[in-house]
Structure 1
Amino acid sequence: MTTASDLASAGILPAPRFAPYKHEASNNLSDANDLYVWHGEMSASCMELLSHFEVILRHSIDSTLANHFREHNRNIPWFLMNTKLAKGISDKISEARADAARYNFESRDHIVSRLMFGFWTNMLARKYDELWQKTLHNAFPNARRPRSEVMSNIEGVRLFRNRVAHHDSLLGVNIPFEVDRIFLICGWISSDAEAWIRSVSRCHSTYSKRPVSPANTVIVPAKIAWKTYQKTSAYVCQPGRYFRDVSRMGFYSEKKIQTSIPEILDRRDRIPWTENEAQRLEKTGNPDDRKVAEVIRETRKLTNLNGEPLYAAGSYQVFILSNSSDIARTKTTNKPIRHTKTGKGSAYVRKHRYCSIGSILHASTTDDIS
């Protein structure tokens, strides 16, 4: 039977496309072929889920705006009315109408169905904050969160959707995390919608069939992060950054991997790094939320040698980690693991790097880590 590796060897499948699967499978072609086929099934499951999500999202926003502008009384779609909002989106509406007309579809619902995912995300942008305050928050009745947080989470889904739709590799993506974010937003719209979309999703079951287990530890560059972990038992980085599904984190600073390899207890993305958000999280009564609130407050106090904040205003992604003194959860090496290579481009970690915890615990230098 012809395999993906056969196609790559014959030049039918691009060799660079297949290469990451070979690398992930440690050059075992049988495992690489199985992984490549699984990846296609995983992408299909994600696309199916995303299609359900997009319809629920756009209908919630569309119906909220239709009610706000009293569309049923005026008998004009809200996006064709003589309003400031409609004028601002007229180009997108014209494109959608023209696209619908090509197929002899010109009803309002056909026009709505032709509006891209980014259109609905953009409806939650800062320029529409007044509209959010007046009505758009009603599209997410269970959220009880600021517009910026709702938008940033939906933007995260949009980026994930684009990655899936463009057939990009998902090997470097924590798929369960991205799927759970979709469930979360659906819950903000309707608890029934969340229950239903969970029931029809095949993503977690497909993910569990992954033929090659991913490396379970991520090593991050830690010029600042190591000190932050020591202070807060957390890792904070830019929002929207992709990570694989890993259970542990190590810190590379001063040309060595530091001794503590904590367990990842929680992960949140696109969190507003403000005192208001800390107060909101603190009031939920959830101990995990309270821990994130503590991290926000502690990191906002951190400064560099010039007295400038290490974590400027904005939103961040945060990993809550086990404390270095928690011997039940945090693995510890006997001494830092040195990186012996020198010269330009020789750093062991630039963005982040994956490996197994077993190889870390038995390594003398980074050359021993797989």
Structure 2
Amino acid sequence: MGSYEIAAGVVADDDPAALVLYAWNAEVSGALLAPLHVCEVVIRNAVADALEAVYGKSWPWSASFERSLPDPPVGYSPRRDLQGARKYEESAGKVIPELTFVFWQKMFTGRHDARLWAPHLKRVLPGIPIGGTIAERRHAIYSDLEQVRKLRNRIAHHEPIFGRTLSDDYRKIRDLVAYRCAITAEWLHRNQTATKLIHRKPYCAPVTVSDPPAVRHCETLKQ
């Protein structure tokens, strides 16, 4: 509870402020799961759409696609991720949900520009903002997915998220969905509860230079 006690400015053992912040952190984390769910499904479907156009309906078993994936000896390997996901499956539709979020994010790297994104980015993500090169727009998506992935991982591991600018996190989630389908993004927004909870954030102690990182990154609630 240390991070919550510091952020809530607790000075006495009977002060409930840290538990209030803890409860809010858990509640808003749960509320963000639905938007994160929709975002991941939409993005992986968009990537799968482009992959099918280039490598065919059986793209998970395409040798050409497999060779296009990096396979570093240390750390995360998209190639090994694909090999593991397809091992016991018989269709692309079954493989898609077996692949990790980071796999879909890594598809938005420069190595796939020529074959995948130059011909298909605007088709599979028609709502992407106009302006800039394909590489620049693809890189912007990668950066947004990095922010969303970090939020997703903190929630999955029951970590504090009160220090994040959650309104910006939610905006990135909604924008990514809208790049694929504006109607889906509007449906998502109408059916989520995260934004109301974000605006009801409990008090966090004011930031000072000497504060530890947990406090320096905590937003002060705007009354």
Place the TM-score, normalised by the shorter chain, in its bin: 0.7 to 0.9
Identify which of 171, 184, 196 aligns with 1:193. 184
Identify which of 192, 211, 214 aligns with 2:204. 214
Question: For residues 138 and 168 of structure 1, what CA distance do their matches in structure 2 show?
Answer: 37
Counterpart of 1:247? Answer: none
One-letter amino acid of the structure 1 residue matched with residue 150 of structure 2: L
Counterpart of 2:72? Answer: none
One-letter amino acid of the structure 2 residue matched with residue 94 of structure 1: Q
Counterpart of 2:92? Answer: 108
Kept in 2: contact 1:68–1:135 (CA 8 A): no
Q: Deviations 1:27-85 (Å, cap 9, x if unpaired)? A: 263222222122111111112221121111101111222133343xxxxx1221232x2
Extract structure 1 runs of 4+ deviating beyond 3 A.
Answer: 347-357
Question: For residues 355 and 93 of structure 1, what CA distance do their matches in structure 2 show?
Answer: 39
Aligned pair 1:140/2:120, yes or no? Answer: no
Question: What's the CA shift for 1:20?
Answer: 1.9
Cα distance, 1:110–1:356 mapped onto 2, change above 3 Å: closer
TM-score, with structure 1 as normaliser: 0.49
Question: What's the CA shift for 1:193?
Answer: 1.7
TM-score, with structure 2 as normaliser: 0.78
Cα distance, 1:356–1:168 mapped onto 2, change above 3 Å: closer
Counterpart of 1:123? Answer: 107
Counterpart of 1:92? Answer: 81
Question: For residues 169 and 192 of structure 1, what CA distance do their matches in structure 2 show?
Answer: 32
Counterpart of 1:276? Answer: none
Question: For residues 356 and 205 of structure 1, what CA distance do their matches in structure 2 show?
Answer: 17
Q: Which aligned pairs between 1:334-349 and structure 2 lie closer than 5 A? A: 348=210
One-letter amino acid of the structure 2 residue matched with residue 92 of structure 1: D
Q: Deviations 1:193-228 (Å, cap 9, x if unpaired)? A: 211111222111222333x22357x66xxxxxxxxx
Question: For residues 160 and 25 of structure 1, what CA distance do their matches in structure 2 show?
Answer: 21
Counterpart of 1:161? Answer: 152
Question: For residues 27 and 219 of structure 2, what CA distance do their matches in structure 1 show?
Answer: 25
Counterpart of 1:80? Answer: 61
One-letter amino acid of the structure 2 residue matched with residue 191 of structure 1: A
Number of residue-to-residue matches in the alignment: 200
Question: What's the CA shift for 1:188?
Answer: 1.2
One-letter amino acid of the structure 2 residue matched with residue 188 of structure 1: Y
By relative contact order (CA 8 Å, sep 6+), the higher-ranking structure is 2
Kept in 1: contact 2:31–2:192 (CA 8 A): yes
Question: What's the CA shift for 1:179?
Answer: 0.6
Kept in 2: contact 1:137–1:147 (CA 8 A): no
Question: For residues 64 and 158 of structure 1, what CA distance do their matches in structure 2 show?
Answer: 21
3-state DSSP of counterpart to 1:167: coil
One-letter amino acid of the structure 1 residue matched with residue 85 of structure 2: A
Question: Which structure carries more strand by proportion?
Answer: 1
Question: For residues 201 and 112 of structure 1, what CA distance do their matches in structure 2 show?
Answer: 25
Counterpart of 1:34? Answer: 20
Question: For residues 92 and 219 of structure 2, what CA distance do their matches in structure 1 show?
Answer: 52
Question: What's the CA shift for 1:24?
Answer: 2.6
Question: For residues 219 and 101 of structure 2, what CA distance do their matches in structure 1 show?
Answer: 35
Cα distance, 1:355–1:204 mapped onto 2, change above 3 Å: closer
Name stretches of at least 5 consecutive residues in structure 1 with no aligned partner.
Answer: 1-17, 72-76, 220-346, 358-370
